[in-house]
Amino acid sequence: MSAPLLAVSDLVVSYPLGSALGFGRGRTFDAVKGVSFTIEPGQGFALVGESGSGKSTIGRAILGLVPVASGSIVFDGADVAAFGKRVPLAYRRQVQVVFQDPRSSLNPRRTVGEQIGQVLQRHFSTGRTETERRVCDLLGKVGLGAYFVDRFPGELSGGQRQRVAIARALATEPRLLICDEPVSALDVSTQSQVLNLLASLRIELGLAYLFISHDLAVVRQVADVVAVMQRGRIVEVGTSDTLYEAPADPYTRLLLSSVPQPSPLGREERRAARRALRAAPA
> Which residue, 56 or 240, has its beta carbon nearer to Mg ion?
56
Summarize as ranges the residues that interact with ligand ADP (CB under 6 A): 15, 31, 49, 51-57
Nearer to ligand ADP, 2 or 19 (CB): 19
Residues 6+ apart with CB under 8 A from 123: 89, 93, 171, 172
Q: For residue 212, how many other CB atoms are within 10 A of its CB?
A: 25
CB nearer to ligand ADP: give 56 or 96.
56
CB 170 within 8 A of CB 96: yes
**3-state DSSP percent of the chain in helix, strand and coil, to 5:** 45, 25, 35
Closer to ligand ADP by Cβ: residue 136 or 217 = 217
φ and ψ at residue 93, rounded to 5 degrees: -65, -40
**If contact means CB under 5 to 8 A according to the sort of partner, which of ligand ADP, Mg ion, none does residue 67 touch?**
none
CB 186 within 8 A of CB 173: no
Q: Which of 14, 43, 53, 56 binds Mg ion (CB under 5 A)?
A: 56
Measured between alpha carbons, how far is residue 111 from residues 54, 60, 148, 165 in Å? 34, 27, 9, 12
For helices 158-170 and 112-124, angle between their N-to-C axes, nearest 10 degrees: 10
Q: Stretches 29-37, 38-46, 55-63, 145-153: which one binds Mg ion (CB under 5 A)?
A: 55-63
Minimum CB distance to Mg ion, residue 55 (Å): 5
Q: Which of 206, 108, 117, 201 is nearest to 163 (CA)?
A: 201
In the complex, what is the shortest distance from the CB of residue 282 to ligand ADP, in angstroms, rounded to a whole number? 7
Closest approach, Cβ 66 to ligand ADP, in A, equals 8
The backbone region for 24, taken as left when phi is positive above 0, alpha when psi lies in -120 to 50, beta otherwise, is: left
Q: Say whether residue 57 binds Mg ion (CB under 5 A).
A: no
Binding-site partner at residue 15 among ligand ADP, Mg ion, none, CB < 5 to 8 Å by type: ligand ADP
By a kind-dependent CB cut-off of 5 to 8 A, residue 52 interacts, out of Mg ion, ligand ADP, none, with ligand ADP
How many angstroms from the chain centroid is the CA of residue 174? 14
Task: Report, in Å, the least distance between residue 137 CB and ligand ADP.
Answer: 33
Q: Supply the minimum distance, in Å, between the C-beta of residue 241 and ligand ADP.
A: 24
Smallest distance, Å, CB 85 to ligand ADP? 15
- 54 vs 159, beta carbon nearer Mg ion: 54
Nearer to Mg ion, 148 or 251 (CB): 251
